[in-house]
Amino acid sequence: LCRFAASHQIGLRVGVHMGSLLPVTLPSHKSTNGGKTTCFGIASALATQLAFTAEHECMVHFSQEVKNRLNAFRMVRLTIATSQASYYLDTTTAVRNFYDNRGQLVDMDVQIQPNSSELAMRLSDTEADALKWKSQSEFAEFLGRHGIEVAAFGKGSAKTLAEFYEDVAIERKCALEINDGRLERVVTLVRISLRMRDKDNKLRELRIASEGTEQGGQMRQRDQRFAVVLKNLEKDEWQQAVEKCFEEKLRLSSKVQKSCFATEFDSYAFQEDRSSSATVPGIPTTYRAHNIVINIKDQTRKELQIIGLPRGVDFSVGEGRVQKNWTWALVTDNKEDELMTLLHQHGIDASDFPAQSFAELYDEVYDRNLSTLEVIGGELTRTIRIIKVWLYAQILNVDHMLVVKAKWQKGSFDSQTKDQPISMRMSVDQDWGDAVEEALNSRLGLNSNFQQTFLSVDVNSHKLTEEVGYSRSYPGLKTLYVVNEVKVHVVDSHAGPCHLLGLPSGTDFSFARREALAKSPGSEDVVVTHWVWKTLEGYEQKMRSVLRISVEKIPSLSDGLMAGDDVASSVDVTSVLSVDEVLRDRVERPKPLLINPSKDDGDVGVMKKLMKGRKTDWKRAKNAASCMLDPAYNCKAFYEDLQAAFPELRLYCLTVEGTNDDSLVTSGRTADDEYQRTVGALFAVFWLMRIDLDGKESFCFGLDEYWKPYSATNQEELLEACRGDEEAVTKRLEFFHNTDWKALQQLLIDAGLITRLPGDNRVVQNQDRLVAFLAMMAMHDIMKMNPLLPKVGKSVKEFQGYKVGELISDHDVALSYFLVHHADLLPSFQGLSKTQQDSIKFVHCKMDYNMGWLVQGEAPPGALFRTMRKVASSISQSDMAFYFTHWFVDLAGAEPCPISGCTKFTLKFPRRVLAQFLDSFAVVQQICEKTETEVVEDYLKDCWSRHNPELGPSPTASGAIARMRLQLMAQGETLEVMRQFALLSPDDQMTLSQEMACTGCHGQQFSCDDLRNTPLYGKGPAILVYYGPALMQKTGRKEPRGALQILAEVYRRTRELWPLTEDAVNNTVTIRIDALKELDAHTVLRPDPGQTWLVCKTSGKDAMVKSIGFNEYKDVDWHSNVVLHFGSGESKKSSPLKRGGKLSGIGSGIGNIVPRVKRFSLLAGGMH
């Protein structure tokens, strides 16, 4: 049912519980025999509650009882609810019952042995509570009823009845249970192996050598591990009991234990033995022992001298009959034999394991602490904890996620990991937050400082799933996968250091790491992972497609099993490219250019040496420009002209003797990748110029081995070009047929690269302008080569924030430095006219322009265009189009495979977003002549007028700008959004109308909504709600009114943190709503009891929305935090501070219980 709903995008919540049901017939006035029959009871009541409280749509929400009762769930991946008391079954998970009615595994080679302990009949909790003997005589009567000879107590070595009564009923050191009709005593204890290494690096553990007896002066030999007998009340809290025992018996405080001891949790083992006891006649005793290893982290600590450390000498505690003599004894057990024995005891033959598998199992269990082995339900189970990190980034304001494209490990490609997120095995006691940091570091090379600065972990997204399978690497060994999943967002994709992740353009990249091989000292495996950024929308469409298929598909066990690190897999030839195939998509790289950097190179590095005597071949450059529209001139001839013309292209081929060439690149990609990307951008120019010839085909489908474009009509050739990938063929064809090629050609006309002949549809090239553009593209990324980066010279003093002697690490700023101060070292730039040089300098200025902010209505005019307006005040619209053309072809060639066409656009970029960008170019070019606010208003009105279906005349008066911005933010369902906007409360509607019309520019107002007679007129700061469009597109698609209410409240509470002032009229503050953008509106508007949403001020111009629990209120600084109140829309103060600084208003966090209780009460009433 959930699969059907998910595949048809129907919101559905399902709850399942089990229990008794009672029928009831409802009265009916139409029939004398009564009406419809329904049922009520605990099953229906709790199932209804589970449905109403489900956090996820289209997932089966069921109780702990259901999971425990249904055998089919014993081998299915389940998501653990945040309450830890219920579970979710995902629609993509296939469920098949592999157990018969007796709980035996069927249809598989592995058989499960029956759990004998489950056959034991124990006293129920109710009976145990009832057994509160009021006296010793009642206790004696109880023993007599179960056939125990009470008279035997107190004779010989047996305890007296009074002592036994005290142990069971008062001290509760043991319990009485009934097993197979016989009374048994159960003693629960913890055996501790406290370990340290001596001076010879030998492992020793603390043991009791001897202890005092009742006979004065005599000692009884023991040679036993440290053991703690647990009282009944402590048996579920054995760790606390151990801590208390260390404190009482060895005088080691809790603080010392936490700082000096490390519990080896994967060593934990539970053991149950049964024997007769001379001290308790007639009652057999079962000993249930928790066995644990605790290691001493630093035995030199002075606090540990009382237990004979650091030398490991014998010591004593107590005197007389309570004296205990302790010794540090050698640990002589063989772990490998122990593991082999453990496997054999549970019917697992290690000789069936593939080569090296036993060594790997030993390594992960005993050496690396990556898994545990324990008996669960009578079966030996290997438990693995995994962290999965879903890394998100906005690439041109489109949500993308980072997934694996291909992975090379142990000498072959592993196709099972395709489309998987960042993942890593966790150690057994590792916190998931620490695991996230380690995974990002080990899988992507991102250090802690990078993560803290440029990444944001969405703690609310954390979820836990369990999945059971039988490992192919360890036949017969059941494996439980415990998977932690969490979302992490890149804060700013345009930040310079983020180029390590292929940002901001979203380029594929690779990362290599070394892994030690199990039980092979000094041996390592090189793991190479190829990463790709995929649009979130495309990924979700793929998942929906999988759902539609799975509705009719017969489920199999492999549907539910996770691709673990130890699962063997075959190579998917459609997703993995050979070396020859990779090279087929690339052009041949020029010969390496050897350099020898030295300290005497000065502020220009090695550039002076490299470019000495090199000149631009202007004849070949002009030939490339003048022949572009010649049908007989092909891409190969164009490439040869480029190589001969521009000497700067050789700078991508640097090599330093004895150095890895890839370490010379600042972008995180290889030097060859950067060269191929530059050539790809130049090819994009060539193909766009030839739109009326064969440019469209080359752009979309690439070139064959003879440098000829593939034809759109030859399906067989296209399939071969795409290596049999039918999905890629479809995407390329869609781009070919649906792209607005005229708009792209118009961009070249606006940039002055071509001119349309009067009265004719033909175009001709402008040679000088085109040569300048080609020269710029040839050199635009050369400063990504580390040795070329300059230092600010003494004569310059300061350059764009860099001071004298500082290395200019930003590659765009570094190129600008050469353009301004050392143009003589760039011959292809120096030989251009001043007009063309000025155009190139403008392109490389820092304009802080985020195109996505405009096309999605996300930002006010000040944040969008202030920097660009300053830079563009002295240039023409042609230069602005020149800038946009550079941006477009640079992105078109972002993938390092120029021969295969512009795959960044044809395969990876949403056409809808590309069309929006193209539409915006013509409007934004007016920034040279108009104010920031005028450009934004023109764009908003233009989009309103072109909307399909028609929306009528562009709105005016209050709310006009808000409505036009919301139309862009929603990206669909505009009519419904406008209807819901009109139905908002007056306060919400006024908040959105005024805040969204605030410009953030001094002296500028929108003409259609100028904010006169409002508090915002002539004041600031303006507010930019970061991820506002994401909220409207995800949450707003299902619940537009709820999304609008959330948006209004965010604006309202952010304004409390930044009150309106005239001094701030030129400023903009940013509020990030990452935590809200993917949640259902009802989840935000009615948070869980005890949870509260806050706007938290993080700096003088930034804030973020976050969720806190009731117990965190006391730690909140209420001067920089305000509570988001959802519901009434009234403009009330949200700070819980009273004048005295005490908390008030805490009910905002728990007041949401009321509507839930009302709803449940009505439901329950209806049942009765």
Among candidate residues 1081, 1104, 1087, 1103, the one with its CA nearest the CA of residue 1147 = 1087
Q: What's the whole-number mean pLDDT along residues 151-169? A: 84
Q: Is the pLDDT of residue 563 over 70?
A: no
The amino acid occupying position 110 is V
Bridge partner list, 263: 294
pLDDT at 657: 63
CA 99 vs CA 103, 108, 110, 112: distances in Å: 5, 10, 12, 10
Q: 3-state SS string over 650-665? A: HHHHEEECCCCHHHHE
Say which residue the tokens 């995180």 belong to: 668
Phi, psi of 395, deg, nearest 5:
-110, 110
Residues 851-883 as b or e (16 or more Cβ within 10 Å = b): bbbbbbbbbbbbbbbbebbebbeebbbbbbbbb
pLDDT at 33: 59
Contact 1095, 1117 (CB under 8 A): no
Length in residues, the chain: 1168
Q: Is the pLDDT of residue 570 over 50?
A: no
Among candidate residues 110, 101, 40, 111, the one with its CA nearest the CA of residue 70 = 101
Say which residue the tokens 């550039």 belong to: 607
Phi, psi of 200, deg, nearest 5:
-95, 10
Contact 1068, 863 (CB under 8 A): yes
Contact 84, 101 (CB under 8 A): no
From CA 754, how far away is CA 1105, in angstroms rounded? 49
From CA 682, how far away is CA 680, in angstroms rounded? 5
Cα atoms in the 13 Å half-sphere on the side-chain side of 381: 19
Contact 340, 350 (CB under 8 A): yes
Bridge partner list, 404: 531
Among candidate residues 771, 772, 754, 775, the one with its CA nearest the CA of residue 763 = 754
Instruction: Tell me if residue 59 falls in helix, strand or coil.
Output: coil
CA 797 vs CA 290, 604, 805, 850, 1074: distances in Å: 71, 14, 9, 30, 41
Contact 54, 48 (CB under 8 A): no
pLDDT at 942: 92
pLDDT at 566: 37
Span 411-460, pLDDT tens digits: 777 667 788 899 998 988 888 999 999 999 999 989 988 998 899 898 87
DSSP secondary structure string, 411-454?
TEE-GGGTT--EEEEEPTT--HHHHHHHHHHHHH---HHHHHHH
Span 704-714, pLDDT tens digits: 989 999 999 98
Task: Kindly calculate the radius of gyration of the chain based on its CA atoms and give it in whole angstroms.
Answer: 36
Q: Is the pLDDT of residue 1063 over 90?
A: yes
DSSP secondary structure string, 798-842?
EETTEETT-B---HHHHHHHHHHH-GGG-HHHHTS-HHHHHHHHH
Least confident of 154-158, 404-408, 492-496, 580-584: 580-584
Q: Is the pLDDT of residue 616 over 80?
A: yes
pLDDT at 559: 36
Among candidate residues 895, 908, 799, the one with its CA nearest the CA of residue 846 = 799
pLDDT at 659: 57
Q: What's the whole-number mean pLDDT along residues 296-308? A: 87
Question: CB pairs under 8 A, 24+ apart, for 745-748?
Answer: 745/688, 745/691, 745/692, 746/922, 747/881, 747/884, 747/885, 747/888, 747/918, 747/921, 748/688, 748/689, 748/885
pLDDT at 915: 85
Among candidate residues 1008, 1016, 1019, 931, the one with its CA nearest the CA of residue 963 = 1008
Confidence of residue 334 (pLDDT cuts 50, 70, 90): low
pLDDT at 287: 78
Beta-strand relationship, 60-63 and 78-80: unpaired
CA 1106 vs CA 458, 837, 923, 1131: distances in Å: 9, 48, 37, 20
pLDDT at 948: 87
From CA 1021, how far away is CA 1101, in angstroms rounded? 9
The torsion region of residue 723 among left (phi > 0), alpha (psi -120 to 50) and beta comes to left
pLDDT at 1166: 33
From CA 814, how far away is CA 826, in angstroms rounded? 13
Residues 93-106 as b or e (16 or more Cβ within 10 Å = b): bbeeebbeeeeebe
Residue 265 CB neighbour total at 10 angstroms: 15
- List the structure tokens of 731: 């995407």
DSSP symbol at 1061: B
Say which residue the tokens 């709503």 belong to: 1073
Phi, psi of 38, deg, nearest 5:
-130, -175
From CA 769, how far away is CA 755, in angstroms rounded? 11
Span 932-958, pLDDT tens digits: 999 999 999 999 998 888 999 999 999
Helix H or strand E encompassing 190: strand 182-197
Among candidate residues 1104, 1109, 1105, 1080, the one with its CA nearest the CA of residue 1092 = 1109
Q: Is the pLDDT of residue 265 over 90?
A: no
CA 133 vs CA 121, 128, 144, 321: distances in Å: 21, 11, 14, 32
Among candidate residues 330, 99, 76, 51, the one with its CA nearest the CA of residue 193 = 330
Helix H or strand E encompassing 734: helix 726-738
pLDDT at 200: 65
DSSP symbol at 992: H
Instruction: Tell me if residue 325 falls in helix, strand or coil.
Output: strand
The torsion region of residue 356 among left (phi > 0), alpha (psi -120 to 50) and beta comes to left
- List the structure tokens of 971: 């990206």
Confidence of residue 240 (pLDDT cuts 50, 70, 90): confident
DSSP secondary structure string, 741-796?
HHHHHHHHHHTTSEEEPTTSS-EEE-HHHHHHHHHHHHHTTGGGBGGG--B--TTT
Contact 308, 301 (CB under 8 A): no
Instruction: Answer with the residue of higher pLDDT: 847 or 1135.
Output: 847
Q: Is the pLDDT of residue 545 over 60?
A: no
Instruction: Tell me if residue 589 falls in helix, strand or coil.
Output: coil
DSSP symbol at 168: I
What integer best gives the mean pLDDT of the chain? 81
